[in-house]
Amino acid sequence: MTSDFEAQLRAVSLRVTRPRLAVLAALRDHPHVDTDAVIDLVRADHPTVSHQAVYDVLRALTDTGLVRRIQPAGATARYESRATDNHHHVVCRSCGAIADVDCAVGHAPCLTASDDHGFVVDEAEVVYWGICPDCVTRSEEGNR
Ligand SMILES: [Zn+2]
Ligand SMILES: [Zn+2]
């Protein structure tokens, strides 16, 4: 697995460092986590990696497109390593849980706007808002 991450880093001309590998591994295992959670995950395995190092790594990985930053309205920024397919997200209004939603058809079809107003479009962001199953169950139990 680690060698995959090394190849990804080299593909975008980033030096292979332990903090970068650790952040990529954390995001593979825990998609859609915020900065604090990434720091906790990385430091659980690598206690010597500083908070600032994790911030710097997240910025470098996001800038080079290895990591995607998503920020639903009113929520803290989350990060994920599934960065290249322009998939969408469903967000729970109650607890903030996030799950991936594939595009309905084909390869990033939502990039083809019905009218792009002359803009060169390179990303489409769709957020489906709703209530997650856990919160639905909780509220049903609360009503009993
Ligand atoms: Zn929820
Ligand atoms: Zn996602």
Q: What CATH number is attached to the domain comprising 139?
A: 3.30.1490.190
State the pTM of this model.
Answer: 0.80
Residue 103 is assigned to a ligand binding site: no
Q: pLDDT digits over 60-88, tens only?
A: 999 999 999 998 888 889 999 988 887 88
Q: 48-63 as b/e, with b when 16 or more CB fall inside 10 Å?
A: ebeeebbeebbebbee
Q: What total of structural domains would you count in the chain?
A: 2
Domain that holds residue 100: 85-143
Q: Indicate whether 94 and 61 sit together in one domain.
A: no
**How much distance in Å is there from the Cα of 131 to the middle of ligand 1?**
6
Q: pLDDT digits over 83-113, tens only?
A: 888 788 999 999 999 999 887 655 555 666 6
Q: Among the three residues 11, 35, 70, which one is the final residue of a domain in this structure?
A: 70
Ligand closest to Cα of 103 equals: 2
Ligand closest to Cα of 68 equals: 2
Alpha carbons 70 and 83: distance in angstroms, whole number: 10
Please enumerate in sequence order all residues whose Cβ is within 8 A of that of 82, keeping only pairs 6 or more positions apart, or say none.
31, 68, 100
